[in-house]
Structure 1
Amino acid sequence: MARKRLSATTLESWSDVDACLKAIAEVDRELAILETAQQEQIDAIKAATKAEAEPLQSKKAGLELAMQQYAEANRGEFIKAKTKELTFGSVGFRLSTRIVIKNLGNTLQALKDFGLTGCIRIKEECDKEAMKNLPIETLHAVGATLKQEDAFGYEVKRELIQEVA
């Protein structure tokens, strides 16, 4: 389990701290039970919604296919205008253009070879893990600092709580 950080405490002995760890484990256990029940309800709702939506989605897909087939059969009416306005909406044809890349690696290399770097997306971000190894002077020169803190944390032994419960 990940360690938790706390900022202040009002305990007076290590047995109080141990009692807090036990209480936290019990709360975590109850929360897990609640979250499991919640997820089961969500899963049941999703399954019911999917079952109810499936015939509607099939009906919609059938209607869309029928409209497309009718429009394609009457394509001559779309010579002057690409869209036909109807009472409850419109139907039409639009020219669609897209790029199909057969081999991403080869295409990227070819773009680089032709000097078309403007067609290549590159995400730049600071590598903070690598920056941890830089000298402090270099960090300051690039506008960064190294912040270290001694943060409190705890770990709960859940298996012991389950044995007690």
Structure 2
Amino acid sequence: MARKRLSATTLSSWNDVDACLKAIGEVDRELGLLEAAQQEQIDAIKASTKAAAEPLQNKKAGLELAIQQYAEANRGEFVKAKTKELTFGSVGFRLSSKVVIKNLGNTLQALKDFALTSCIRIKEECDKEAMKNLPLETLHAVGANLKQEDAFGYEIKREQLQEVA
């Protein structure tokens, strides 16, 4: 597809700009209505899917519970092998370990007190907001720059559109 080059502005007055702002506001309103209708359809599909899936999920949970209860009742068969291979799958027991923290703040402080810093995660990242206040020489020294640009923007007065509509 050939690239089209935009010529100079087609607007010739501030009234034209104002008319464009009005048109943008109307398009935004129509887009909002379309998105709201789309979201309603999505919500309806999610609700019907959830209703259709609930009996299946309940059936699956019941079957899983029955398998678990049977395996626990026959746990003696899992002494030599931790897994029982069957035609349509396998069941078994695995040793599982997890750390349970009662009070995060106390545990974190205790890890610091015992110098167990290898057990503490710290996410490091540059604070760009704080870096904005640094002098340019310091920014350059740390391998950063301050980029400033005059960005164009516009604002639609939606209440005015409602009065016109």
TM-score range, shorter chain: over 0.9
Q: Structure 2 matches for 1:31-110, cutoff 5 A?
A: 31-110=31-110
**What is the Cα deviation at residue 10 of structure 1?**
3.5
Please give the secondary structure, in 2, of the residue aligned with 1:118.
helix
Q: 1:123 corresponds to which letter in structure 2?
A: K
Q: 2:66 corresponds to which letter in structure 1?
A: A
Alignment partners' CA distance in 2, 1:40 and 1:55: 24
1:149 aligns to 2:152 (yes or no): no
Give the 4+ runs in structure 1 shifted more than 4 A.
none
Give the gaps of 5 or more residues in structure 2. Answer: 1-7
**What is the Cα deviation at residue 9 of structure 1?**
4.5
Give the gaps of 5 or more residues in structure 1. Answer: 1-7
Alignment partners' CA distance in 2, 1:15 and 1:91: 75
Alignment partners' CA distance in 2, 1:115 and 1:20: 64
Alignment partners' CA distance in 2, 1:55 and 1:15: 61
Please give the secondary structure, in 2, of the residue aligned with 1:84.
strand
Q: 1:152 corresponds to which letter in structure 2?
A: F
Q: Percent identity?
A: 87
Aligned to 1:160: 160
Alignment partners' CA distance in 2, 1:154 and 1:82: 67
Alignment partners' CA distance in 1, 2:113 and 2:26: 62
Alignment partners' CA distance in 2, 1:45 and 1:110: 50
**What is the Cα deviation at residue 163 of structure 1?**
1.6
**TM-score of the pair, normalised by structure 2:** 0.93
